[in-house]
Structure 1
Amino acid sequence: MLYVLCIITPVLVVVVKSESCPKGCTCTLMYQHTYCGDQSLKEVPAGISDKTKILILNRNNLTRLNPNALPDLPNLNTLDLTDNSLKVIEDGAFNGVSNLETLELYHNRLTAVPSSAFKPLKNLQELGLGANPIVCLDSYAFSYLSSLRMLELKDLKALRGVSKNAFYGLTGLVYLSMVSSNLRTVPYLQHLTGLEELDLSRNSITVLTAENFESLPKLKRLLLTSNQLTGVEQDSFDDLKALTDVNLSYNNLTRLPYGLFGKMTSLQEFDLRGNLWNCSCEVMWLVQWMRGNMRSDTRELCGKCVNPKSERGKFLCDIVPEEINCSVPRIAKPVDTVNVSVGDSAALKCKAGQETAISWITPNGTTIRHGSFRVKVKVYNDGTNTLNITRVTLTDAGVYRCVAKNTVGSDSYATILNVTGS
């Protein structure tokens, strides 16, 4: 009898997942790019490949993102949801896309920043929330986004307020735009210690104060074109040592305080066009500064004189300083002595004209800077400079010296502060 030995060899069967593209969408680069724009979608489509790196869902009819609205997409780094009708983004909506780096939510119907929904997005670097009817930027609105580097908040036409801690936690942010966002004042920016570019153009900001740009040591570009600026307080730019480019064009400025750019040693480009420059002694320091710091091919950026009539139409940088009659500043003598009690507030006044820079020297010989503890310096339109000291103590007593300086010379005056009480 013939015996046949049969050897059964095991066969390894590998099941390969077949990739598919959602209905109506276009998938390219081995399913890494998925384009689902212009499809009238009311929800995120099924069947998105987990290989997807870029997902485009713009120009659809999405109104809300529920928890886990997006599938688990571990490779997704860019999500574009612009031009939808999103009103609600619930907590957990982004649970499946925790590696996202860029999120575009421009032109939706969000009335508030969906802060809690951002919690999984620890790696997000770019966020666009412009053109939404957001009413207020609440405290800690972006606090979960510790890796954020670029924040686009332009065209927030319904914006009514920005909380002091709205930008808390964004120490790594390098770019912030709030162009055309209904701002009347510069928002609180002191949390943004890494900021390099700030664009607040096309708003209704009227005054820049000495506190606006504190704690921005890395700021390189400051854009404030097409606001309604009428004044810039002395020392407003003192902390901007790294600034290379400032744009104050198309505002209502007639002058800038003496020595405004003096500490900005890195400044290379500036744009002062479209203002109402009064080419008198008030701007002589600026004329001299521009002559020493501007390039010949940027002459038109210095702006033109509006007043006086004899100078109207001339470029600011073409004014001849020697033809302008300037005199040494004279301080209008204030009261010699101010008497207060411990715990009260004291106001020391010094008036010397708008073309002068005024500084205060304390009894111990130090010069007061803006933002000093318990001390605020307020400058009024008539040239009056007031040193306000709150919660006065016995150690505050002494002689305070007001020093006024312009391009021609200086003057000083002493006021004695007497403090009584225990």
Structure 2
Amino acid sequence: MAPPPPSLPVPPVTRAPRGGPPRLLPAVATITLLTLATVGACPAVCRCSGGRVYCNDRGLTAVPEGLPPGATTLFLQNNRIGDAGIPARLGRLPALRVLYLYANALEQLPAHLPPALRELHLQENNVRGLCRRALARAPLLERLHLDDNSVSAAGIEEDAFAENRRLRLLFLSRNHLSSVPAGLPPALEELRLDDNRIHTIPLRAFEGLPALRRLVLDGNLLANQRMADDTFSRLGNLSELSLGRNALAAPPANLPRARLRRLSLAANAISHVPAGALARMRALERLDLSDNNLTTLPRGLFDDLGSLSHLGLRNNPWFCGCNLAWLRDWLRRRAPPRLEVRGLLCQAPARLRGLPVGELRGEMDACDSPASGGGTAGGGTSPAVAAVSPPGAAATTPGLWVQAAPGGALRVRWPPAPPGASLRLSWLRPGGGAVTETLVRGERGEYVVRALQPRAPYRVCLAALEPPAAPPLCAQARAGAGDPPPQAGSPGAPGGDAAPPALPPAAALGAAAAAAAGVVLGVLGGCWRRRRRRRMGLGGPPLPPPKGGGGGGRLALRPLRTPEEGGIRTVYPPPPPPPPPLPPPGVRGYRGGQVPHGGGGGS
């Protein structure tokens, strides 16, 4: 029989005296206390999971006590925390990297930011300014979200970002800025200034930003004459530029060309594009020129755009004559799926209205040059456009003369046409709405457009119906001074000549039907009122007195009232729904999206 294997030595256990605990328990207790001191207990109103602490949507007015020192991400959004609710102990969390404080009641930057903070979310507060002292406490900050606040240009200290050399993303959308903040950090890669009040960009506004790749300036008050020529030329690494919803009359000069991949100029007042505006933009992939006043484009405008995959051209008054024949041919060479073109539909001449330019064949080849003889550089012809003239001055195009008239009007004149000729007259306030048009008799030689915005610029175009391919003559002038345009339905509300135009047959029939219906309803209403008065004892012979005595030939009627005796009731909104359940440890709701596990993206 083989001998049994040797057993492992067992160390002797020193037992405590009878009735006492073993001597190993004090060591276990010491380790437990050290662990708790390192991790920290979770506040009662919060939930902790790993390094994340969830204290959001609790109705808090201050940062809770007892936050674990090892916390890396702190969620405090959707509370009622004000400036006084940010204690100094918040700045003593050594491991905190991400802090969510959006949708609270803050009016200034927190004065006690953790030194290791990388990402700070302060959207939807009432922060009014940025000071160097507060930002200097977070020298490692990389992402700063300040959307939907009240930050103004005067509230930003000139050297506010002097200590934030690592800041890569700055969101200042929907604030009260009137100019571009000065002293931006050189490491900045993305800057959002959309939906502010920025009206001027001076020289060297974006100087010292070699790493900037994305710039968003949508929804401001920018115009070409208020932007310096070098505004974008210094941004050599810019890959995305968005200038939608401004007051541009043409693309800005000196756009960055080498690396620009996305360019948005939608919803401006662009009426012409210079021939070389997009030259050498070989990396451009998306271009949006929608919602402008373009009737044509210069020949060869897109020749250098070999990478273009999306082209937005919708909601422009395109004139499909020989001036756009080159674009039709270019589109055929760049057929899908290489290029997606949206909204390139003819608006004139009338026989081509609504047709896609790319599907036209010979309809655009035979056309006459404009009567003005003007044209755009780079080939092709376009309607002549005069510069905007001040109130009282005349804008003249050969064959068209426009002058301001009192009372917010424009007087349009043209050489009298042969009897029986009809012309289409249209007018549009750049950036102010849809095109309005009417038919006028050519032999009159004059028409007054009324009910315009006083002193506002208008683009007026006159087009002959025959021949249909002739492009319109256009001029631009400001309406005369006077009272604001009357509301719809008031006298003189529709723009038109001194004498109101006759109603078309359909409108006349509708008016007659409405008048007849009014007479019938009036007769029926009178009969109903007489019948009701008789039933209520308010007319006709006296009613017999009620049984049981009592004089009088009429019943005493109580007035009808609501339960509140005729008062106006206030309608209160329904109570808010209960707060949603706590999320799983990995994610948390954030403005309709998800908070990433670490270092999240933009808002």
- Choose from 314, 330, 336 the match for 1:273: 314
Q: Does 1:193 align with 2:236?
A: yes
Alignment partner of 2:232: what SS?
A: coil
Q: Is 2:273 the counterpart of 1:232?
A: yes
**Cα contact 2:142–2:166 (8 A) shared by 1:** yes
Give the direction of change, closer, same or farther, for the CA distance of 1:173–1:164 in structure 2 (3 Å limit).
Answer: same
The answer for the alignment partner of 1:148 in structure 2 is 188
Letter aligned with residue 196 of structure 1:
S
Structure 1 residue 307 and structure 2 residue 321: aligned?
no
Aligned ranges 1:18-57 → 2 under 5 Å = 19=40, 28-30=49-51, 31-43=71-83, 44-48=86-90, 49-57=93-101
How far off its partner does 1:22 sit? 7.8
Larger Rg: 2
In structure 1, runs of 5+ residues without a counterpart are 1-10, 331-350, 359-379, 384-422
Counterpart selection for 1:174 from 202, 206, 213: 213
SS at match of 2:170: strand
Match of 1:47, SS state, is: helix
Q: Which amino acid aligns with 2:77?
A: G
Letter of the 1:259 counterpart: G
RMSD: 3.2
Number of equivalent positions: 324
Gap runs ≥5 in structure 2: 1-26, 52-70, 388-603
User: Given the superposition, is the C-alpha separation of residues 114 and 22 from structure 1 closer, same or farther in structure 2, using an over 3 Å criterion?
Assistant: farther
Q: Which has the higher contact order (CA 8 A, sep 6+)?
A: 1
Counterpart in 2 of 1:357?
A: 378
SS of match in other structure, 1:230 = coil
**1:205 and 2:245 matched:** no
Structure 1: which amino acid aligns with 2:305? M
Structure 1 residue 300: Cα displacement: 6.1
Amino acid at match of 1:47: R
Distance 1:20 1:127, change over 3 A: farther
- 8 A contact 2:273–2:298 mirrored in 1: yes
Q: Once the 2 structures are TM-superposed, how far is the Cα of residue 96 of structure 1 from its aligned partner?
A: 2.0
2:202 corresponds in structure 1 to 163
User: C-alpha separation between the residues in 2 aligned to 1:25 and 1:166?
Assistant: 44
* 2:152 counterpart (111, 128, 133): 111
CA displacement 1:224-254 (0-9 Å, x = unmatched): 2222211111201113221111111121110
Secondary structure at the counterpart of residue 323 of structure 2: helix
Amino acid at match of 2:233: Q
Distance in 2, Cα, partners of 1:256 & 1:313: 18
The aligned residue for residue 339 of structure 1 is none
Residue in 1 that maps onto 2:325:
284
Q: Give 1:70's aligned residue.
A: 112
Give the direction of change, closer, same or farther, for the CA distance of 1:305–1:142 in structure 2 (3 Å limit): farther
SS of alignment partner, residue 65 of structure 1: coil
Worse-superposed segment, 24-33 or 252-261: 24-33
1:160 Cα offset (Å): 2.5
The answer on whether the counterparts of 1:278 and 1:307 sit within 8 Å (CA) in structure 2 is: yes
Verify: 1:136 aligned to 2:163, yes or no: no
Report 1:321-336 matches (<5 A).
321=362, 323-325=364-366
Give the aligned partner of residue 454 of structure 2: none
Distance 1:19 1:96 in 2: 24
Write the letter of the residue equivalent to 2:89.
G
Question: What's the % identity of the aligned pairs?
Answer: 27
Q: Is the 8 A contact 1:287 1:317 kept in 2?
A: yes
Aligned equivalent of 1:4: none
Deviations 1:369-404 (A, max 9, x none): xxxxxxxxxxx8479xxxxxxxxxxxxxxxxxxxxx
- Return the letter of the residue paired with 2:237: G
CA 1:250–1:21: 2 relative to 1, 3 Å: farther
CA change 1:308–1:57 in 2 (3 A) is: same
Give deviations 1:258-278, integer Å, cap 9, x for gaps.
111112222222111111100
Instruction: Give the AA of the match of 1:208.
Output: P
Structure 2 counterpart of 1:99, from 140, 144, 154? 140
Q: What is the TM-score with the length of structure 2 in the denominator?
A: 0.49
SS at structure 1 position matched to 2:120: strand
Q: CA deviation at 1:183?
A: 2.0
User: TM-score, structure 1 length as denominator?
Assistant: 0.69
Is 1:120 the counterpart of 2:141? The answer is no
Aligned partners of 2:46, 2:135: CA distance in 1, in Å?
21
TM-superposed CA distance for 1:162, in Å, is 1.7
8 Å CA contact 1:283, 1:355 repeated in 2: no
CA drift of 1:159 comes to 2.1
2:310 touches 2:341 (CA, 8 Å); kept in 1? Answer: no
